[in-house]
Amino acid sequence: MRLIDVEYRREPQGWVLRVFVDKQGGVTLDDCAIISNQLGDILDAKMDHNEPYHLEVSSPGLDRPLTKPKHFVYFEGRSAIIKTNRLVGGKRHFKGVLAGFSEGVVKLLVDEQAVSIPYETIVKAHLSIEC
């Protein structure tokens, strides 16, 4: 099991702690229940927060967001869609196959051509079910 992302934020219904996990072959409902029970016990004992919170454990899904540099490494070889806040090679929208991440640059194969996208220009990125 691998931790993909964690969100802790206030929402209309109160504080929500979302934990996104993944594993080879996919995450099952039983996996989520086991992690939720174990993590809930640990958090109840150790968390220094007086506000009640709701714990959610899930897989980020097939079109999971790519929000951290390590995600671009972990999902290398998978199809992705990336949007940038400025032109990169004359474009702001890219669809291709993740080909690595190094020195602050995401490598994406678009129509078999390597495109280098500076990480700081990315405003939204997620895996794509098809490419």
The per-residue pLDDT for range 61-93, each reduced to its tens digit, is: 778 889 889 889 988 999 999 999 999 999 999
Q: Where in the chain is the domain with CATH 2.30.30.180?
A: 69-127
Per-residue pLDDT at 24: 80
Pick the CATH number of 69-127 from 2.30.30.180, 1.10.10.60, 3.40.140.10, 2.40.10.340: 2.30.30.180
Per-residue pLDDT at 114: 94
Per-residue pLDDT at 85: 96
Task: Name 46's Cβ contacts closer than 8 Å, sequence gap at least 6.
Answer: none
Distance CA 111, CA 109 (A): 6
Per-residue pLDDT at 131: 44
Per-residue pLDDT at 64: 84
Low-confidence ranges of the chain (pLDDT < 70): 49, 130-131
Class of domain 2-58: alpha beta
Under a CB-based contact definition with an 8 Å cutoff, are residues 2 and 22 in contact?
yes
Q: Where in the chain is the domain with CATH 3.30.300.70?
A: 2-58
| Phi, psi for 104 (deg, rounded to 5) | 75, 15
Sign of the torsion formed by the C-alpha atoms of 49, 68, 126 and 85:
positive
